[in-house]
Amino acid sequence: MERVRLFVVVASILVMCVARSVGGEEVADTLSACDFPAIYNFGDSNSDTGGISAAFYPMASPCGETFFHRPAGRGCDGRLMIDFIDGVSPFSLDIQIAQYQQLKSRTTSLYNRAKKQPRRFPRVDDFSKALYTFDIGQNDVAAGIRKMSDEQFQAQIPDIINQLATAIRNLYDQGARTFWIHNTGPIGCLAVTLHYLHNPSPDYVDRRGCVKFQNDMARQFNRALKQKVFQLRKELPLAAITHVNVFAAKYKLLSNAKKHGFLDKTKICCGYHEDNNHVYCGNKGIINGTQVYAGSCEDPSLYISWDGVHYTEAANHWIANQLISGSFSDPPLPITIHAIGFNLCSSFHICNSFLAYKLTRN
């Protein structure tokens, strides 16, 4: 099952409805402060803010150089999509759910012990007001590509999706009500694949130069995920479940990289990849008898790919801007009115505008 990272933003980090901009372009107008006391994220390394770093080994330079100016647990140069809107992580989904349950069960005790500084811990009632995001799938698809035939992978998809659905039902039974479900991106467009692809046959790549069969496997996974989201809406009538087509948003960027101010999608910012010699981001290697340090490019903001697999902060921010508009969501509503559209404001006193939040520390 997809390895995921539970990202808990407790009440000590203020969640604000703030306007974000890239290159001076505002994504939305500031309205008012939101009342989401926490965001609980279950995701792979595309949204992992420190799972590997905390459990096994810290991220090394040059990761984090763009925003944090130091390694900050993320497998790219700065912030992730979740840092704007709402490495493989060492913990599977069932373990993450267990961690969440443990946190929730201890909350009352922790909160009562912290009466002098109660905002440092989530209140019991805050769990029903929190936002629960899921950003998974890429590792499952990648494993399918490496180890399985198309038929074998198709047979595995229902089990993977059902495990996700079980996790959502579990959270719902514990009071969770607001869910964002991201599908997986176009893995056949990742630079780690395309960088080594030379003169492919016309039937191997699509019209944008991405590997067809890999993207087809991602689409199969995404179709099953979307169907499950529709089913869960019927099963969980009090939940607000939004399906977000991250595949389409990322494919839009990758298909027209230069149009959107980036270099070609095959370019990798961090790492040494020349003449079939490869030293991966932040590592040292010996090339023709000489030690080579695989550092970052001069300007990461021009690149879509940070290390061949993970997106740069600039690319993550561009994608986040697209998602905020609601044009890639089902239902197709801007984030600013999702809460009202689902009648959550009256139920949980959640404001009608939640655009982004800023992490001021790890």
E strand map for 186-294 = 240-244, 271-274, 277-280, 284-287, 290-293
Active site residue 346: no
- d(C-alpha 59, C-alpha 74), whole Å: 7
Active site residue 307: yes
- Structure-token match 């497998």, residue found: 75
Taking 3-state DSSP, the helix, strand and coil percentages for the chain, each rounded to the nearest 5, stand at: 40, 15, 45
Instruction: Count Cα neighbours of 29 within 13 Å in the Cβ-side half-sphere.
Output: 2
Active site residue 310: yes
Distance spanning both ends of the chain, measured CA to CA: 27
331 cis-preceded (ω within 30 degrees of 0): yes
Spatial CB neighbours of 240, under 8 Å, sequence gap ≥ 6: 177, 178, 179, 338, 339, 342, 344
Task: Please identify which of the residues 182, 243, 310, 317 carries the catalytic annotation.
Answer: 310
Angle at 274 between CA 271 and CA 277, to 5 degrees: 85
Task: Please identify which of the residues 45, 47, 53, 296 carries the catalytic annotation.
Answer: 45
Q: Please report the sign of the dihedral spanned by the C-alpha atoms of residue 85, residue 89, residue 93, residue 94.
A: negative
| CB contact at 8 A, 323 and 246 | yes
Task: Please identify which of the residues 307, 317, 329, 353 carries the catalytic annotation.
Answer: 307
Active site residues: 45, 307, 310
